[in-house]
Amino acid sequence: MNLSDLFSEFKNLKPDPHYTEKSKRAILASPQPAPRLREKGFMIFLRSLETGVALVLAGFFILLATNSLSGNKLAPVQYAVIDPNGLHAEAQAIDIQIQLANLDYSEVTSTASQSTTPTAPGAASPSFVPVGLGGAATSTATSSASAGDVPPATATTTLSVDQALKALSE
């Protein structure tokens, strides 16, 4: 006999109708166990955890997507309230005030050093040259008239800020 025919013969396998009816009645009459309170609470906790995690992940991916779409991946963050030019100007102004404050000090010390030790290595150094306003510094080193026997000498040097800083560092 053919195997496929034998397989189709298995379709004749049918449960006994009496057994089927009895089994069905017994099953449908049996009570369905109610889920225990502890299990219920745990399920609620699991579901809220699921929802929370899903929301957090969704938010994270939305942020990730919007950042990648903006195109400014490596550019520094630009804020509307910050004006770079204004900041630069302000920084320049602060520098100037410091330089002006140093100006008085430098004038005093340079005068003093010239009057006491004119051959001191630092005397002729540009480090004592006061720095003026703007991109270039104009200094006027005037030997004190109170020295008496030393003829008054006036030297005017024009230095840029970079030159002045370089000289200071040396």
Partner 1 sequence: MVNGPEPEQEIVFVQRAVKGDSSAFGVLYDHYHPMIYRFVMIKVGRREEAEDITHQVFLSAWQKVKSYKHQGHPFSSWLYQIARNQVIDHYRARKPDVSLEKTDPESFAIAVDHAADISKKMQLEKVRTAIALLKSDYQDVIILRFVEDMTLKETAASLRKSEGAVKVIQHRAIRELKKVLGGEPSISLNSFSISSDESF
Binding site for partner 1 (CB under 8 A): 1-4, 6-16, 19-20, 23-24, 26-28, 30, 32-33, 35
Amino acid identity, position 125: S
Rank residues 37 and 74 by Cβ distance to partner 1 and give the closer one.
37
Q: How far is CA 84 from CA 21, 91, 130, 133, 144, in A?
A: 87, 10, 29, 22, 44
Alpha helices in 37-142 (DSSP H): 37-70, 84-116
* SS3 label, residue 123: coil
* CB of residue 50 to partner 1, shortest distance in Å: 13
Rank residues 24 and 166 by Cβ distance to partner 1 and give the closer one.
24
What single-letter DSSP state applies at residue 148? S
Other CB atoms within 10 Å distance of the CB of residue 103:
17
* CB of residue 61 to partner 1, shortest distance in Å: 24
* CB of residue 40 to partner 1, shortest distance in Å: 12
Q: Which helix (H) or strand (E) holds 130?
A: none
Rank residues 27 and 81 by Cβ distance to partner 1 and give the closer one.
27
* CB of residue 14 to partner 1, shortest distance in Å: 6
Rank residues 4 and 66 by Cβ distance to partner 1 and give the closer one.
4
